[in-house]
A and B are shown apart, each in its own frame.
Chain A
């Protein structure tokens, strides 16, 4: 492989796979929140009756 091809292979891997790693790190720093209801729903629709 030529030098320039190797350089571009490394840049591609760093940006794309590096981007994935950064995105995963960002997500792991923001854990999932619970969907506890904000408002009290008057006359609950019966969905939770079972």
Chain B
């Protein structure tokens, strides 16, 4: 609950830092952030392509050796230093503030295009009822590219707006803004408390409906049949680590921000295990639902599952509409599927925006409402200028690919190197995690974060740099990928360095008596050595 601080006279003066009112709400919000579009449209195909049932082995190894340890790193920084990403990193070490701003800028880029996909999914809920794509002679593919997005032939940046995308995007931004203005407890927690149960129920109905479709068994057979030879391929292991890393929302600054709103005596590791396994549990459910539906699609087309299996935008906006048209009660399948995308997307978008809002709230020392508006309004405007246009898809595709690899992945690599080998802070952070947690961390965690983490992330990053240098991404012109891919990724780093040199005013949260008190309490509580079970 927020109450005015001693600076209550000033209209913009800051409030007491909010905390999630219960552990359940933190977990729901963290799961809401982790469960996003990728769980539904990316995981099923990644698993299928990389060994089917046998993918479970690298997947579990990746969760336990990289995903959860990195999640705990985020939790420890956010919870120990109790601030938005830039402030928490700065409090950990003045020189690492830049990492926080890098994450803020990464979240800015993701937020501006993420809202577009949520808006498309919302429109497709309606189209599932009207079966709008059946009017196009080329079917769902022709409808999506020509009639809906009106994609230009030129890979460029145009301001040729498409009204049917602009309006739903505007609505998405308005809903998001209302949630963000309401704050952590009245906005983020409540939204997740409503959207997450709704998402799970809707998706479960979708899965039950899908598995009873004719041909569904063939889809499940394709999804679960193990290919053990794939396990000898390092690319399969890299795919597992890469997927888990993006799926768990680690190194975005999101978990740093959310954990900063947890109560001081929170069970960080116990909650983290629930979040990680809930995220994976949802992915598994998505794999079953999506491949059952793809099995039906293949059955209807008289082809094999291999020929229809796809991921991402192709799966959601081309394959699923085809399934919706052909399946019994197809309209319901469509509403459930696209509705799930909307709720999964919205809860993730909220968490992405919270990284930026919290950073500016700390930096400016303002109240929630003005700080939110000063962030969300410009972000929404930029999003609404760039993406509901005939070239929005190209921009989205390039920005998504480059910000993921050369934003998040690169930032994560720097983070684990700096906090591990660089500053040697892992023992201190492990000690913090162990203070009130049910599962204690020991040397294993430090080795995984400081050793396995940099090795796995470094390997993935080198692979990505090589592949992006060797061929033009998606066949787009060099200048386009240069500006919106490489240029954008580079600009994030330059921007982060600049922002880290902007001085913190006396109104900012840099000198926060509330934090001083927290710090004293934390230090007073510190245990001499970890006790109990070790990770």
Contact = CB atoms under 8 A, between A and B. Distances in A.
Interface of A: 1-2, 4-6, 8-9, 11-13, 15-17, 19-20, 22-24, 26-27, 29-30, 32-35, 37-39, 41, 45-47, 49-50
Nearest to B513: A45
A17 B4 contact: no
B277 A19 contact: yes
B23 interface: yes
A8 B3 contact: no
A30 B438 contact: yes
Contact of B436 (A33, A45, A50): A33
Contacts of B52: 5, 8
A39 B56 CA distance: 48
A11 B56 contact: yes
A16 B278 CA distance: 8
Nearest to A10: B224
A19 to B, nearest CB: 4
Contacts of B19: 35
Given A20-B277, A23-B277, A39-B520, 15 more contacts: A1-B224, A5-B53, A5-B226, A8-B54, A8-B56, A19-B273, A20-B274, A20-B278, A26-B273, A27-B270, A33-B265, A35-B263, A45-B513, A46-B6, A47-B16
Interface in B251-302: 263-267, 270-271, 273-274, 276-278, 280-281, 284
Contact of A13 (B4, B226, B284): B284
A47 B220 contact: no
Nearest to B517: A41
The interface residues of chain B, by DSSP majority, are classed as helix
A45 B514 contact: yes
B267 A30 contact: yes
B517 A9 contact: no
Contacts of B270: 23, 26-27, 30
A50 B284 CA distance: 48
A1 B265 contact: no
Interface in B425-471: 436, 438-439
Contacts of A13: 284
B130 interface: no
15 contacts: A1-B224, A4-B53, A5-B223, A9-B224, A12-B53, A12-B56, A17-B284, A23-B270, A26-B270, A27-B274, A30-B270, A30-B438, A45-B6, A45-B514, A49-B6
B4 A50 contact: yes
B439 A26 contact: yes
A9 B220 contact: yes
Interface string B151-184: 0000000000000000000000000000000000
